[in-house]
Each structure stands twice: as C-alpha cells, then as structure tokens.
Structure 1
Amino acid sequence: MSVEERVVKWLKDGRQVGKRYSFVRDGETFWGALAIQRVDDAYTAVFWEVAESVMWMEEEHRRERASFDTVAGALAFLEGRTGRAVDDLAPLKGARVFKP
C-alpha cells in the first residue's frame, strides 16, 4: 500500500495524520510538527517549527496552513515546505497538531 493510500484510509476514518520532528540549522535545534486532516471536502495541511531556544515563549518560528482538493497536494505541500519525508506519517494519538 502506498503512502497516499494509507493516509487516505486514515483520513476517511476521521483521523489526523502527522508526525513531530527535530532538526539542527546553523547550530540551533528546531522542533516541529506537521499534519493533515480532512475538513469537509478538503484536506487541510499544517506545519509549525520553533527554535528550541525560544520554545518557552510559546511562539512558532514558522507556521503555515493550506487546504487542498487531494491528499497528494497536501503531502506535496508538507514535504516541499518542510523538507521532511512524509512516508512515515501515522495517525496522531493524544494531542493533535491543529484544530480544524
């Protein structure tokens, strides 16, 4: 089953699909999260990133949200804007990345 097929199945079940991640840029650690959820007839994709040094301020360094007609469009947006692979997305348990 392809990544897109797995994600579509989970989204049809009403799940929010995503992941959390970290990376180092210019010697500074950043934390982020990305997710997709079906909202009405569209797929909403969201990601945020924050530098570890300012996490206590509870302000994201970067946050973007967009809606797409297809899961493929949402996956391409997330992968293209964050540089993170989307082949390991999974249904989120507990806290969601965003509220629809």
Structure 2
Amino acid sequence: MDELSRVRNWLEAGKQVGKSWSWVESGKTYWGSVGVQKWQGVYKIYVDKIEEARMSNLEDYDTDQIIETKCFEQIQHILTATCFINLVELIPQKGQKIFNPELD
C-alpha cells in the first residue's frame, strides 16, 4: 500500500491526521498546524499559522481556517495552496486533536 492510500484509509476510518511544525520566514519564527478529518461525509481541513512572538495571545493568528471539500483528491491542492504541506506527511493524531471537526 502506498503512502497516499494509507492516509486515505485513515481518513475513511474517521481518524484525524495532522502535523505541527515551525519555520523561519523573513527572520521571524512561525508555528503552524494542519489537520484533516472526514466528518459527516465531508473532509475538513484545518490550517493555522502564528508568529512565535505573538503566541501568548492565542487569538492573534495569521491564519486560522477550516476548509471543506467532498473530494479526497482536492485535499492536496488545498494543502499546497494554504501551507505547503504534503498530505502524506500527516499522521493520525492521538490524544489531543489539532481541531474539533464539529466546529466550523
């Protein structure tokens, strides 16, 4: 089974896959996270980005959004456009999830 099929199987089983990471952009450190979960027949994709210096105010995100699609094949396009993460980099989340799929 290839990596993309493995991620699709996780999603079809109702698991949330995701990743959190940091990077430097224009001399500033940023933190981001992405999560994907199939919820009530729709794939929900959560993306956030916040500058490390502003992390004490958790409402001061540069990006904080949920995007929905019914098409699995659209997920990679959305990830590329919003956070430059490859879908196969995402792994199942245990314990605390990246986002709550019940919320919009």
Q: Same fold (TM over 0.5)?
A: yes
Q: CA deviation at 1:20?
A: 0.7
Residues 10-69 of structure 1, C-alpha deviation per residue, up to 9 Å, x if partnerless?
112221011111111110000010011011111111110100000001122211211111
Moved more, 26-35 or 8-17: 8-17
**Does 2:68 align with 1:67?**
yes
The alignment yields a C-alpha RMSD, in angstroms, of: 1.3
TM-score, with length taken from structure 1: 0.90
Which runs of structure 2 are paired with 1:46-85 in the superposition (5 Å)?
Answer: 46-59=46-59, 60-85=61-86
Q: Tell me the number of residue pairs that the alignment of Structure 1 and Structure 2 aligns.
A: 100
Give the Cα–Cα distance (whole angstroms) in 2 for the partners of residues 12 and 95 of structure 1. 20
Provide structure 1 residue ranges, at least 5 long, that are not aligned to the other structure: none
Query: Percent same amino acid at aligned positions?
Result: 28
Provide structure 2 residue ranges, at least 5 long, that are not aligned to the other structure: none
Which runs of structure 2 are paired with 1:12-91 in the superposition (5 Å)?
Answer: 12-59=12-59, 60-91=61-92
- 1:99 is paired with a residue whose SS is coil
Would you identify which runs of 4 or more consecutive aligned residues in structure 1 move more than 3 Å?
A: none
TM-score, with length taken from structure 2: 0.87
Corresponding letter in the other structure for 1:32: G
